Amino acid sequence: MVLCGLALLAFSSPSAAQVASDTRADNDFAATGQLTVQVQTLAGAAFSEGATIALFTRDIQDKQLTKSDHNGSVRFTALPSGSYLMEVAAPGYRTVQEQVIITGTHEAQSMVVSMVPTSVGAQSKGPSTRVSPKAVKETEKGLVALQVNKLTDAQRHLERALTIDPNFADGNYLMGVLLLRQ
């Protein structure tokens, strides 16, 4: 479909409930940072289905891999500074990939990842429907605005998309997510 691999991300400060599973780097690099990931459903509830979170980097040849706990939390500690690709996956949900930069400041970074079911926006088995490219473009702009928490911009773009194509499933879905976040 048009919007494969979407994720809604927000930054937050970690709470005691978010920090559960620990994964330490098994390399001889100086520890310079940590990353806390909170995986949640689109409604904002803890993702208790056990997402698999992987960190990949050029500096570390092997990946760091762990599962989120029943609260949807995981923490990677003792991470060398550098650029990482974080991948969050769970059966029945779209895989989320985001770049994470760990700086040498020893500060903890937190990310919130909202999992999108693969059935959202899926084509029905009925007659094929074409979506206007303009509606797709406005929906993509709306998604980007949602990801950076610019709700007014997101609403403007999604309203434009739904004016162009009121039956566009992804646009309607994201409008619902927007309304839940307001």
pLDDT in tens, 112-143: 999 988 875 544 444 445 778 888 889 889 88
Class of domain 8-114: mainly beta
CB 180 within 8 A of CB 42: yes
Question: Between these two residues, 124 and 155, which has the higher pLDDT value?
Answer: 155
d(CA 155, CA 71): 30
Residue 4 pLDDT exceeds 60: no
Type of residue at 44: G
Side-chain-facing half-sphere of 79: CA atoms under 13 Å: 31
Domain with CATH 2.60.40.10 in the chain: 8-114
Task: State the sign of the Cα–Cα–Cα–Cα dihedral 149, 39, 86, 176.
Answer: negative
Side-chain-facing half-sphere of 154: CA atoms under 13 Å: 22
Euclidean distance between the first and the last CA atom of the chain, given in angstroms as a whole number:
27
pLDDT in tens, 78-97: 888 888 888 899 998 888 88
The reported pTM is 0.52
Tokens in use for 106? Answer: 């020893």
Strand pairing category for 73-79 and 82-89 = unpaired
Query: If you search the block for the tokens 């690099």, which residue do you land on?
Result: 29
Tokens in use for 146? Answer: 């949602």
Residue 106 pLDDT exceeds 70: no
Query: If you search the block for the tokens 């989320």, which residue do you land on?
Result: 96
CB 76 within 8 A of CB 23: yes
What does the pLDDT average to over 41-63? 82
